[in-house]
Amino acid sequence: MSSILINNFPKMTGTLVQHNRKRNKWSNTPSGYTGFSASVNEFDDSRNSALRSIFLSLLLHDVVYLRHEDYLDFIRFLGVENVILLLERGIIKIVFDCYDFTYVNSKDAKAAKLGQLELTYFVRLAPLYDLQFGYCSIESDNRVAQARLRYLTEENQILVHCNENGLEITADSVANSIIDEVRLDLSNKRMLEELDLTAQPFSVKMMTSLRICEVLAGYSLQKQLEVDSVIQDSYSKDYVESKIFISSSDKSIDCFETILEMKSIPDVFDLYNRGLVSLKEILDMRESFQAKNFRMWLSDKNYDHEVVVRELLKPCSSSVKANMVSFIVPTVLGLINPGAGVIASATDSVFLKMLRDNWSPKLFLDSKLSRLLNEKIKHEKLKNSVNRQNGYSMLKSGDDCYCGSGKKYSVCHAKRKS
């Protein structure tokens, strides 16, 4: 089974304030900062990008992992009933990790007086609060649905830094390691040059280092959860290219997005957002024979992105003659595992059987995904066309038709609309 962690939801810049227990009063002066600087439009675009990643992952991976905060956002977008559908099928897992990164006033008294900040981490209370008080962040007007979703959330949760009641927090050596790593990066001249931070003010370095912390947290969660792939903030690519970090890639998503764009297959997330395709229809596509084999085919990371795209863009035939298998198998195996190539051994029987059963990786794109989504768009265009015509054709049946055919409206475009 293939799995993926979604870790590209944006985080708005926020401030931390201290609470004075003796006075029972909150400070008016921020003591720390967290999140990334972004305008409202940038935030919305980034959020849509993360949601799009989830929808693509539903087709490409068996299990999708979401962090607690992102999971709650996904519920707000998708709705309680739809998320219940995903949880009932075991498609979504919720990661309860409790640490986040921030800049706070320096512990050094002299540095603090000068207003200097230092990188550290803090415990997020939201996931702990949910664990202690029965997932109260999940709300619905339908009490039965609310109870069902809270129950399924518990059934599909993965606890990383805490126990089941949220009362015991484990010390996280990984968080400290990430902070040490970022501090070293920011003190390294070459890294600053690679990341284009040499001449930047502290505020930019601060926001960039928080982004790097989030990227490294994503990779560490991927490793800890033994997840195949991770979708990260796009900045992760620049960082990883500047400094090698052990991780699987998210080639399958990147490759699939390229294929969708080049084959002009509509964006599943966009169609769902416009109400043209339902979650049930997406899940039906996901459960189809072609989609399951497509996921199996893409689950191995040892393939060349460009070759995969080129193969999938070739004209598709729904049948494969038995005597052609010997020619096709090396090509497919070469994409899946370049080391295997040319010779098909007994261990390749799964793919031999798939090919003999008239399946190819292109079938999912051509016969299932493309056909359904294009039909949805065609129906919407027709409906919009009729609505436009109704808007300007306030004609009686005996009037001349607006198209200029010379026919009466009742036997021309009025008839076509009926």
- CA separation for the pair 336, 297 (Å, rounded): 7
Query: How open is the CA angle 337-342-344, to the nearest 5 degrees?
Result: 80
Q: Whose structure tokens read 């040892």?
A: 302
CB 25 within 8 A of CB 225: no
Residue 119 in this model has a pLDDT that exceeds 90 = no
pLDDT band, residue 325 (cuts 50/70/90)? very low
Look at strands 99-105 and 117-123 and give their pairing: antiparallel
- CA separation for the pair 144, 224 (Å, rounded): 34
Q: Starting at the edge strand that comes first in sequence, how are the strands of the sheet with 32-34 ordered? A: 14-16, 32-34, 99-105, 117-123
Domain boundaries, the chain: 3-248, 263-318+358-418, 320-355
Residue 401 in this model has a pLDDT that exceeds 90 = no
For residue 163 the two structure tokens come to 């126990």
Residue 332 in this model has a pLDDT that exceeds 70 = no
More confident residue, 277 or 308: 277
Q: Starting at the edge strand that comes first in sequence, how are the strands of the sheet with 3-7 ordered? A: 157-159, 92-96, 63-67, 3-7, 229-232
pLDDT band, residue 243 (cuts 50/70/90)? low
Torsion over CA: 270, 259, 256, 318 (sign): positive
pLDDT digits (tens, 9 = 90+) for 26-71: 777 666 677 765 677 878 888 888 898 899 888 888 999 999 999 9
- CA separation for the pair 256, 303 (Å, rounded): 13
Closest CA to 363 of 268, 410, 293, 262: 293
Q: For residues 184-204, give the mean pLDDT.
A: 81
Which residue type is seen at 134?
G
pLDDT digits (tens, 9 = 90+) for 260-271: 665 666 678 888
Sort 280 into a burial class: Cβ within 10 Å, 0-12 / 13-18 / 19+.
exposed
Q: For residues 204-227, give the mean pLDDT.
A: 84
pLDDT recorded at residue 190: 80
- CA separation for the pair 80, 84 (Å, rounded): 6
More confident residue, 35 or 230: 230
pLDDT recorded at residue 197: 82
Secondary structure E strands in 28-89: 32-34, 63-67
Say what percent of the chain tops pLDDT 70.
58
Q: Whose structure tokens read 């926020």?
A: 14
Most confident of 119-133, 155-169, 320-334: 119-133
311 phi and psi, to 5 degrees?
-65, -45
pLDDT recorded at residue 356: 45
pLDDT recorded at residue 348: 40
For residue 339 the two structure tokens come to 């080391």
Within 10 A of 239 (CB to CB), how many other CB atoms are there? 20
Residue 85 in this model has a pLDDT that exceeds 90 = yes
Query: How open is the CA angle 374-261-375, to the nearest 5 degrees?
Result: 0
pLDDT recorded at residue 382: 61
pLDDT band, residue 121 (cuts 50/70/90)? confident
pLDDT band, residue 346 (cuts 50/70/90)? very low
pLDDT recorded at residue 233: 74
For residue 199 the two structure tokens come to 């001449």
Mean of per-residue pLDDT scores for the chain: 73
Q: For residues 307-317, give the mean pLDDT.
A: 57
pLDDT recorded at residue 102: 84
pLDDT digits (tens, 9 = 90+) for 375-396: 766 666 666 555 555 545 567 7
For residue 381 the two structure tokens come to 């265009």
- CA separation for the pair 143, 36 (Å, rounded): 36
Torsion over CA: 258, 70, 163, 125 (sign): positive
pLDDT band, residue 351 (cuts 50/70/90)? very low
Most confident of 60-74, 101-115, 123-137: 60-74
CB 86 within 8 A of CB 57: no
pTM, two decimal places: 0.70
359 phi and psi, to 5 degrees?
-115, 145
- CA separation for the pair 373, 55 (Å, rounded): 14
- CA separation for the pair 216, 167 (Å, rounded): 26
Closest CA to 363 of 285, 299, 417, 302: 285
- CA separation for the pair 96, 115 (Å, rounded): 33
Residue 399 in this model has a pLDDT that exceeds 60 = yes
> What are the Cα distances from residue 3, in Å, to 25, 61, 231, 288, 359?
46, 5, 11, 18, 23
Residue 80 in this model has a pLDDT that exceeds 80 = yes
More confident residue, 205 or 362: 205
